[in-house]
């Protein structure tokens, strides 16, 4: 039990991580051995104005952040004096533009899943060629990333371009928005981001880690509205007097998938993890080299600790996995909760020949086909709802198996085991099927809060709370391992049928469908 005095022996004994995710915001208090001590969580509204558009209210997210910080402190039974540092991790790419004088966003945040910028991407590809973007930024020119979203907001809001050019508007991903508000907002808030988040904007040169002036000019984005790019682990500022974390040093920022990679202790080239959440994101550490992919993977920054060398990763981003299970629940009413997807899937031995390809916002890795849409194929009278639940879970594993295939091809090495985390890894049927498909062990750590752990470690390393990444490795422990149980020919046949199903999703959005969606 702690008391709010300046002399408490527990002062500085913990680190807090704030995890600002797609569906909710969490704060977690973590101790030196890497154990979560207390947490708070709050969901925010998903604003869906039309097909393909997804928005968040950035002010709601800031309110929720303050609330969950209070909840986590209370749950851990500590006060802010017990915190040595706070780290931020966040849904990446989601874009906010706000007025630097008032702190008011000029539009709802445009979320990473949102596809409204397709026309902007097409125009940019027509002007300069998509290859230029891949060469400079390591990314395909796609609606997923932040730069085109900034362009869209500046076009959509009356007078925004002029205000941006006059230096009155600021851009940020969620890390930037939160740090600016936490450190004072209009009253001296720090306008910063870290290299991992900046590497998702399509505006940063992946080799020099600077904003690329030519690309910013192509998108007509004034560089005055861009945050300063900093490392992932250093002092960015301190909590402002109006917040709950007054004077607490803010010392870690990592995009959420990079944070999970860090929390899974993937510090050696070749090590990687796969996170099963709203979408699936696999990252493999490629060391200090920014490897370009020939197979639809993204080149991204994994982390940069202070002045140390930048560590890069290859990433396979899959847009729809856990959100398919939400869709079975909310749109089809097939299941009452996510866990029932497993109960139903276990009632049948296989998918009955059915395949679900959840290309709800096109297909991300390894295909990058924006004009694909979801399909359910292989239907016969035999197929029932249990088969569909199984097919939905299998689609999650199939999509990740294709990403692993791309990683193996790009790196020239075969994956030896897969570290997993995220909300879906409690689903044992899915984990077993993943091991069966890949032919390698799937391994779950004891603490599956890897995202929060990663942000906490980045923050704690900056203030000497942990001495080095060796402490992170020492704190990591295995919980459960699934080994392959089917032969490789059977796995290859399943994957072949999946790939056939995927081709049925291609090329759905023609001009008529696009015009209808836009009207």
Ligand X SMILES: Nc1ncnc2c1ncn2[C@@H]1O[C@H](COP(=O)(O)OP(=O)(O)O)[C@@H](O)[C@H]1O
Ligand Y SMILES: O=P(O)(O)OC[C@H](O)CO
Burial class, 497, CB count within 10 angstroms (exposed 0-12 / middle 13-18 / buried 19+): middle
Tokens representing 354 are: 């059915």
Q: Does 339 bind ligand X (CB under 6 A)?
A: yes
Binding-site member from 222, 227, 263, 277 for ligand Y (CB under 6 A): 277
Smaller CB separation from ligand Y, 114 or 256:
256
* Separation between Cα atoms, residue 429 and residue 66, nearest integer Å: 37
Annotated binding site: 22-24, 26, 92-93, 144, 256-257, 278, 322, 326, 423, 427
Q: Does 338 bind ligand X (CB under 6 A)?
A: yes
Nearer residue to ligand Y within complex by CB, 194 or 256 = 256
Residues 94-133 that bind ligand Y (CB under 6 A): 112
Smallest distance, Å, CB 23 to ligand X?
4
* Structure letter (DSSP) for residue 419: E
**Given candidates 55, 93, 175, 218, which one binds ligand Y under the rule CB under 6 A?**
93
264 binds ligand Y (CB under 6 A): no
Q: Which is nearer to ligand X, 338 or 517 (CB)?
A: 338
Nearest to 275 by CA among 132, 424, 437: 424
Among 94, 212, 231, 323, the residue binding ligand X under the rule CB under 6 A is 323
Q: Is 154 in the site for ligand X (CB under 6 A)?
A: no
Tokens of 341: 């997807």
Binding mask 391-430 for ligand X (x = CB under 6 A): -------------------------------xxx-xx---
d(CA 25, CA 20): 4
Residue closer to ligand Y by CB (options 261, 285) is 261
**Residue 355 sits in the site that holds ligand Y (CB under 6 A):** no
Characterize 354-376 residue by residue with b for buried, 16 or more Cβ atoms within 10 angstroms of its Cβ, and e for exposed: bbbbbbbbbbbbbbbbbbbbbbb
Residue 298 φ/ψ, nearest 5 degrees: -95, 145
| CA–CA gap between residue 395 and residue 389 (Å, rounded) | 10
Q: From 28-36, 186-194, 271-279, 302-310, give the range in contact with ligand Y by CB under 6 A.
A: 271-279
334 contacts: CB under 8 Å, gap ≥ 6: 328, 344, 385, 388, 389
Q: Would you list the DSSP string of 54-84? A: -EE-HHHHHHHHHHHHHHHHHHHT--GGGEE
Tell whether residue 291 is a contact of ligand X (CB under 6 A): no
Which residues lie near ligand X (CB under 6 A)? 21-23, 277-278, 322-323, 325-326, 338-339, 341-342, 422-424, 426-427
Which residues lie near ligand Y (CB under 6 A)? 21-22, 91-93, 112, 255-257, 277-279
């Amino acid at each position: 039990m702690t008391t709010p005095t300046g002399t408490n022996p527990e002062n500085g004994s913990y680190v807090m991580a704030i995890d600002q995710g797609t569906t909710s915001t969490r704060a977690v208090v973590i101790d030196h051995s890497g154990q979560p001590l207390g947490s708070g969580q709050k969901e925010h509204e998903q604003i869906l104005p039309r097909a393909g558009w997804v928005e968040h209210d950035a002010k709601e997210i800031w309110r929720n952040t303050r609330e969950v910080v209070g909840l986590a402190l209370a749950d851990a039974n500590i006060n802010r004096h017990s915190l040595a540092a706070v780290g931020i991790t966040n849904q990446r790419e989601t874009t906010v533009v706000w007025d630097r004088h008032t702190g008011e966003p000029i539009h709802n945040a445009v979320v990473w899943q949102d596809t409204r910028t397709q026309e902007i991407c097409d125009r940019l590809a027509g002007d300069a060629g998509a290859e230029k973007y891949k060469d400079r930024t390591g990314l395909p020119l796609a609606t997923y990333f932040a730069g085109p979203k900034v362009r869209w907001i500046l076009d959509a809001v009356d007078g925004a371009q002029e205000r941006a050019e006059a230096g009155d508007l600021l851009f940020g991903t969620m890390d930037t928005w939160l740090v600016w508000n936490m450190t004072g907002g209009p009253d001296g808030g720090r306008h910063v981001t870290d290299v991992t988040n900046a590497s998702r904007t399509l505006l940063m040169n992946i080799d020099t880690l600077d904003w690329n002036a030519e690309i910013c000019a192509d998108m007509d984005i004034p560089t005055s509205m861009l945050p300063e790019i900093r490392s992932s682990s250093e002092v960015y500022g301190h909590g402002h007097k109006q917040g709950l974390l007054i004077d607490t040093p803010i010392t870690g920022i990592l995009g959420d998938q990079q944070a999970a990679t860090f929390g899974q202790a993937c510090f050696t080239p070749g090590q990687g993890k796969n996170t099963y959440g709203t979408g699936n994101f696999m990252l493999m550490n490629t060391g200090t080299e920014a490897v370009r992919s020939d197979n639809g993977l993204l080149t991204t920054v994994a982390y940069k600790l202070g002045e140390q060398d930048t560590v890069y990763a290859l990433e396979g981003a899959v847009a729809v996995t856990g959100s398919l299970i939400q869709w079975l629940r909310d749109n089809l009413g097939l299941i009452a909760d996510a866990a029932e997807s497993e109960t139903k899937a276990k009632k049948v031995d296989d998918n009955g020949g059915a395949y679900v390809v959840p290309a709800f916002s096109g297909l991300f890795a390894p295909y990058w086909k924006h004009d694909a849409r979801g399909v359910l194929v292989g239907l016969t009278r035999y197929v029932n709802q249990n088969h569909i639940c199984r097919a939905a879970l299998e689609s999650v594993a199939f999509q990740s198996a294709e990403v692993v295939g791309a990683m193996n091809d790009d790196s020239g090495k075969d994956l030896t085991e897969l570290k997993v985390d995220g909300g879906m890894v409690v689903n044992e049927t899915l984990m077993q099927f993943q091991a069966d498909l890949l032919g390698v062990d799937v391994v779950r750590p004891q603490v599956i809060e890897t995202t929060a752990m990663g942000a906490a470690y980045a923050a704690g390393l900056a203030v000497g709370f942990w001495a080095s990444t060796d402490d992170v490795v020492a704190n990591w422990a295995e919980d459960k391992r699934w080994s392959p149980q089917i032969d490789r020919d059977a796995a290859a046949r399943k994957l072949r049928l999946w790939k056939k199903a995927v081709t049925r999703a291609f090329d759905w959005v023609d001009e008529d469908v696009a015009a209808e969606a836009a009207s």
